[in-house]
Amino acid sequence: MIKNKLYFFGYGNMAEAIYLRIDKSSYENIFLIEKDNDRRAYIDKKKYSKTQILKNINNIKFNNSDIVILSVKPKQIKLICKEINSLILEKRDIPIIISIAAGITTSTIKNHITQNNLSNLQNHLNIYRAMPNLCAINGDGITGLYGKSKDEKKLNSSSIVSKIFNSVGEILWVKKESDLNIVTAISGSGPAYIFYIMDVMINSAKELGLNEGDAKKLVTKTVVGSGKMGESIQNLAEQISKVSSKGGTTEAAISLFNKKNLNLILNQAIKVAHSKSEEISQD
Ligand SMILES: NC(=O)c1ccc[n+]([C@@H]2O[C@H](COP(=O)([O-])OP(=O)(O)OC[C@H]3O[C@@H](n4cnc5c(N)ncnc54)[C@H](OP(=O)(O)O)[C@@H]3O)[C@@H](O)[C@H]2O)c1
């Protein structure tokens, strides 16, 4: 079996989350290309096996079975694509490219990579996008995936992409690239929404007299437990009514949520995040 080489361009928090959990035995070699000196020193200390840490792309030679993960900030993608462009001379030098940069479309990446000299290779690029979330760090993430390859049968690229992101949690392939804006507004930004609610609950518990540690324990266990239960509950609204006994505590809180239109506020916030994601994708 031919083993692929795997390249991370940029080794920040998300690249590290993925690197630490992937099955290293699937790759012939792994390259971490990181320009920040302190970050490279940090990786060096870990003494990872089968892994080379590089400052730049000098001496890299791609081939078709290689996989490149673009894991820099969105504004740094253009420069990385320019660097990748300089490594591609012909069709057989084109790796499978997976970008995790929020809001940068596959066509933008294609255009950046094939600028100047490579327009004839536009149709041969295999570009995928992944939108993981913060929970990937603990292996509990959900990643939205988009992309297709003309050489799917030969390269098996979609399963390679699936396998990488399955190592940090669940995956969800979307049919339209624009659906990644929904993924961004729901699961990409979602951990921050939940942290926001957790923070309000912890502060309320403290105001009512609990210490910080006890408040945090009650809230985190409630969120984790509810999330687990929520997976198998078919109708959440029905479940809420079931647990809100007439004249009881839950009913009192939920009816205040409804009176103050909390549902509308959350719905609008998610739509604002979605519009923002669309706007960034058009820049
Ligand atoms: N964190 C999340 O929850 C999350 C979720 C979904 C998607 N993403 C996406 O993941 C991407 C990475 O996010 P992150 O938080 O991991 O970013 P990050 O911590 O900034 O990591 C990127 C690293 O790449 C380095 N770098 C920049 N340009 C480079 C180049 N030309 N060659 C080599 N290394 C280079 C950066 O160095 P400098 O600091 O010196 O620039 C930095 O150390 C972003 O595009 C983001 O949209 C993140």
Task: For residue 234, give the CATH number of its domain.
Answer: 1.10.3730.10
- 243 and 162, same structural domain? no
Q: Whose CA is nearest to atom 38 of ligand 1?
A: 36
Distance CA 91, CA 81 (A): 16
Distance CA 68, CA 100 (A): 11
20 domain-assigned: yes
Structural domain total, the chain: 2
Confidence check: pLDDT of 155 > 80: no
* Structure tokens that stand for 253 in this block: 């809180």
- 43 and 164, same structural domain? yes
Q: Are 63 and 42 in contact (CB under 8 A)?
A: no
pLDDT per residue over 266-281, tens digit each? 999 999 999 999 999 8
Distance CA 143, CA 158 (A): 14
pLDDT per residue over 206-222, tens digit each? 999 999 999 999 999 99
The pLDDT assigned to 65 comes to 86
Q: Whose CA is nearest to atom 43 of ligand 1?
A: 12
- Residue where a domain stops, chosen among 146, 176, 206: 176
Q: Are 50 and 24 in contact (CB under 8 A)?
A: yes
The ligand 1 atom nearest the CA atom of 184: 6
- Residue where a domain stops, chosen among 149, 176, 203: 176
Q: What is the CATH number of the domain that holds 151?
A: 3.40.50.720
The pLDDT assigned to 202 comes to 98
Q: Is the CB of 191 under 6 A from ligand 1?
A: no
- 199 and 143, same structural domain? no
In order of 8, 219, 281, the CA distances from 184 in angstroms are 22, 25, 11
- 69 and 138, same structural domain? yes
- 39 and 133, same structural domain? yes
Q: 263 is in which domain, residue-wise?
A: 188-282
Q: Is the CB of 131 under 6 A from ligand 1?
A: yes
- Residue where a domain stops, chosen among 155, 176, 197: 176
Find the 74 Cα to ligand 1 centroid distance in Å.
8
- 147 and 225, same structural domain? no
Residue written as tokens 């809420």?
240
Burial code (b: 16+ CB inside 10 Å, e: under 16) for 19-47 equals bebbeeebbeebbbbbeeeebbeebeeee
Distance CA 167, CA 17 (A): 9
- 158 and 46, same structural domain? yes
The pTM of the full predicted model, rounded to 2 decimals, is 0.94
- 197 and 134, same structural domain? no
Find the 15 Cα to ligand 1 centroid distance in Å.
8
Distance CA 147, CA 127 (A): 6
**β-sheet with 141-147: strand ranges across:** 51-54, 27-33, 4-9, 67-70, 96-99, 126-131, 141-147, 169-173
182 domain-assigned: no
The pLDDT assigned to 1 comes to 56
- 238 and 267, same structural domain? yes
- 116 and 240, same structural domain? no
Q: Is the CB of 81 under 6 A from ligand 1?
A: no
181 domain-assigned: no
pLDDT per residue over 167-203, tens digit each? 999 999 999 999 999 999 999 999 999 999 999 999 9
Find the 19 Cα to ligand 1 centroid distance in Å.
14
- 171 and 200, same structural domain? no
- 99 and 33, same structural domain? yes
The pLDDT assigned to 89 comes to 84
Distance CA 262, CA 260 (A): 6
Q: Are 167 and 251 in contact (CB under 8 A)?
A: no
